[in-house]
Structure 1
């Protein structure tokens, strides 16, 4: 259930960004407000006493600061990749990064590496690629190669760091506060960016959109952490299902609600994705 909720929340983030573009709402403003309300949602969800001193002294605090910086930095890299290389390249680079936490889980936590699981992971990577590319787009990774590479490693490091910190330092009842701290750091960096860009005049539509996005964004991280805390799946299995699930649900959402066209390649990717999930979950 936690994994399913994380997939739904992650997909809703893409839907909200699509709507922002349709209604011509400034994305940067929404992102900054989103981080503030994601932080507030985490603080409300947390049941314990909260003090700045205790939070700073928490063993996971500096890891949360690092993640907060990565969250907003990688988003800007994603935007830059989309502008210079195209949306398909950005999508493939970010989603293919799932291989990094998978390798980390297998190498560091000695998670299972049976033949069926390896085939499932390889099929999942193939499915992510085939489902993400659009027939009208040309995937040219050689053009402006720097940003796709940064996006690939940055996205992978985020997932890997979340897993490591959740396993090593974050207690089960501390997940909301840990998530809230990440978003707080990202919000502070975002405000500094708005000041530099002189875009502090927030429109009402951007404010409301930021609140909605913040709640959904918090849910995507919170439920992922809760899923990682569960013993049902190994992290390598969970990240595989999570990324493939988000790609599949996002694709079907675009098809049903935004009338996006799917090529034969995309449909092949979806079929392979289903097969990969079955292989990975049944190991």
Structure 2
């Protein structure tokens, strides 16, 4: 259970760091570069990837897609936390699990139980209630693009990572290392273009903050994988505890520490999100 708790804490700390980035005027895209550099180093140290498996037969289309999506969605994640807060962004990220579930139903023709359908329906109601406000101006409506992109983006990323996991010819951690390298290159190219166009200047403080960000970002992945190894016969325990834990802890941090304002409807949305995750977990655990 300690691995699940550590993974939850690392995930929420990443959100806190992105929230603080606004306060201290940290350039996120520059931080993303060193974030993936740290991930590459730690991935190499902890997982010992065997690069001999990476040949022309590797699923390069998926690798490249993930390498581009990861830093891109990371920027939307930061923007969502900046504009809408930790609570709503964490829920959007956690409920993105419904994208791979829908993909399983429509693309891979998996059988669905009544409980899973109820979980999906509850999840979409949760999204509606979490982001709805009594009155919204044009700026607030435009801000919806951030959590919506986080929701869809992380869902697509999850689907792609599941496809990577299905490739038994290449160890998952070796694929992960390769994807991090591509993401690092993509982020570096974006920053170099901005520097060449005189739109930004590289600052060491941004890179330093990115290293800290990368430490906790990788910690989230490492402890999540270790939790799945420990609960190998009951992955639904990890799935449910992780998502519920992040929603609960993220809500507490957002409301109590950062004083994020939520309406009664938003709190109903949070409760619905918890119910949705519980229903999906139950459907996977008992296959009813």
In the other structure, the counterpart of 1:14 is 15
In the other structure, the counterpart of 2:286 is none
TM-score by length of 2: 0.75
- Quote the Cα distance in structure 1 between the aligned partners of 2:111 and 2:236: 8
Which whole-Å deviations, capped at 9, do the CAs of 1:187-218 have from their partners, x for residues lacking one?
11111111111145322x32331111112222
In the other structure, the counterpart of 1:164 is 163
- Quote the Cα distance in structure 2 between the aligned partners of 1:139 and 1:163: 37
Distance 1:282 1:78, change over 3 A: closer
Post-superposition shift, 1:100?
1.7
- Quote the Cα distance in structure 1 between the aligned partners of 2:169 and 2:15: 28
* Mapping 1:212-231, distance limit 5 Å: 212-224=212-224, 230-231=232-233
- Quote the Cα distance in structure 2 between the aligned partners of 1:170 and 1:133: 45
**1:63 aligns to 2:62 (yes or no):** yes
In the other structure, the counterpart of 2:24 is 23
Contact 1:133-1:266 at 8 Å conserved across structures: yes
Contact 2:71-2:183 at 8 Å conserved across structures: yes
- Quote the Cα distance in structure 2 between the aligned partners of 1:20 and 1:182: 25
Choose which of 227, 231, 234 in structure 2 pairs with 1:232.
Answer: 234
In the other structure, the counterpart of 2:209 is 209
* Mapping 1:1-283, distance limit 5 Å: 1=1, 5-47=6-48, 50-51=50-51, 54-57=53-56, 59-76=58-75, 87=84, 91=89, 97-107=96-106, 111=110, 113-133=112-132, 137=136, 152-169=151-168, 174-198=171-195, 199=200, 201-203=202-204, 205-224=205-224, 230-233=232-235, 238=239, 245-283=245-283
Post-superposition shift, 1:162?
0.8
TM-score by length of 1: 0.76
- Quote the Cα distance in structure 2 between the aligned partners of 1:119 and 1:140: 33
* Matched residues, number: 273
Post-superposition shift, 1:145?
9.2
- Computed over aligned residues only, the root mean square deviation of the Cα atoms, in angstroms, reads 3.8
- Quote the Cα distance in structure 2 between the aligned partners of 1:149 and 1:278: 22
